[in-house]
Amino acid sequence: MECKDLENDVCELKEMVKSQNKRIDELIKHIKEGCNQLEAKELKSSLFNMNPYLECLDPDILYHLNLDTRATNFPKVFGDVRFVCMGGTESRMEQFATFIMTEIGLKMNKAVRLTNIAAEAHRYSLFKVGPVLCASHGIGNPSISIVLHELLKIMHYAKCQKPVFFRMGTCGGIGIEPGTVVITSEALDGQLRAVYEVVIHTEPQLRPTVLSKDLIRELKSLTEPCTDGYDTIAGKTMCCNDFYESQSRMDGAFCDYKPDQRTEFLKRISMSGVVNMEMESTAFAAITHQACIPAAVVCVTILNRLEGDQIEASCERLKDWELRPQKLIARYIHKVLYGGDDTDSSNCDS
Ligand code: R2B
Ligand code: URA
């Protein structure tokens, strides 16, 4: 190898180490700030309205995540969490965890895989990458509500300060180009109500679905329409209790409506501002709001429901689309952790 090449390689390596060290210093600063805040504020999470009976549980077994408060030191393991990112599948969340690791400047040996903390429970996946906790939530409101209860208890027991929650996912678009990213402005149920209905002791309770307007604005400001190569819009989301009949598909096992009723329904909800349909946003918005946690839902549309019901996009295309919400959320996390400043020193002479 030429002497000049060697010099260049050394130079590049030095640069990498330098930028990695800078990131680690900044992360340590954030963690220390978090700890100092904790000590100053004394032993309480910033969550609201938590169940008073939790105090009586010793241990509390978080069954679906294979965690319990006696076996795990929650403040030590989870105390630095500032962002909780959720998505439907285990593999998407492992992919996001790996992605966010590089985005926030952490590195891992290529031969090593991130550990799924909840693996033994065989229900959901849970990965921790510094201040980011990544969890899968399965399909539908009942599934996401279970893991949200347990994630909120983690935040509570770990005394986390001001965590922000995100759901990233896929959805059906109503009258918009497939591949478009939608930031939910309002999460509506199948009756176009901005509520999440929970039946307790046979009585329905309607919980408001409130998402953070500031987060929506902030996420919107982080889009780069010219370079992204796709649109990111904010709009109302209809959250349905199933994939087929509630979403007025004609391709389920049963169908007792006619094609023109389907068209009328989709046009009517489109006229009322609904731009997409998925299956978890109302529980996600209502449960995070109940704990006073700022939260946002970012989904990519994988078909235009005005044009059909079947998902015909190739696996490659779907994989590429699924990255879009992840990229936006990663930009937000990066900005919160490091501000607008992304200037790693690249001057190897200094
Ligand atoms: C979007 O896609 C899933 C159904 O295929 C569901 O979890 C959702 O919200
Ligand atoms: N997820 C849904 O719930 N509906 C769709 O049409 C696509 C993804």
Query: What digits encode the pLDDT tens for the residues 163-179?
Result: 999 999 999 999 999 99
Q: Please, what is the end-to-end C-alpha distance for the chain in angstroms?
A: 25
Is residue 186 within 8 Å of 286, Cβ to Cβ?
A: no
User: By alpha-carbon position, which residue is closest to atom 1 of ligand 2?
Assistant: 171
CA 115/CA 129 separation, integer angstroms = 10
Let me know if residue 47 belongs to a domain: yes
Q: Is 123 annotated as a binding residue?
A: yes
Give residue 56's domain range. 40-339
The Å distance, Cα 143 to ligand 1 centre, comes to: 11
- Closest Cα to residue 334, out of 76, 32, 13, 82? 82
Q: What is the pLDDT of residues 243-295, one digit of tens each?
A: 999 999 999 999 999 999 999 999 999 999 999 999 999 999 999 999 999 99
322 Cβ closer than 6 Å to some ligand 1 atom: no
Q: Which of 280, 284, 311 to probe ligand 1 with, by most ligand atoms within 8 A of CB?
A: 280
* Burial of residue 173 (number of CB atoms within 10 Å: 0-12, 13-18, 19+): buried
CATH number at residue 179: 3.40.50.1580
Q: Is 193 annotated as a binding residue?
A: no
- The domain tally of the chain equals 1
CA 237/CA 117 separation, integer angstroms = 31
The Å distance, Cα 125 to ligand 1 centre, comes to: 17
Let me know if residue 9 belongs to a domain: no
- In this prediction the pTM is 0.88
Let me know if residue 17 belongs to a domain: no
The Å distance, Cα 262 to ligand 1 centre, comes to: 20
Let me know if residue 1 belongs to a domain: no
Let me know if residue 350 belongs to a domain: no
pLDDT at 20: 67
Q: Is 207 annotated as a binding residue?
A: no
Closest-lying ligand 1 atom to the alpha carbon of residue 138: 7
Let me know if residue 146 belongs to a domain: yes
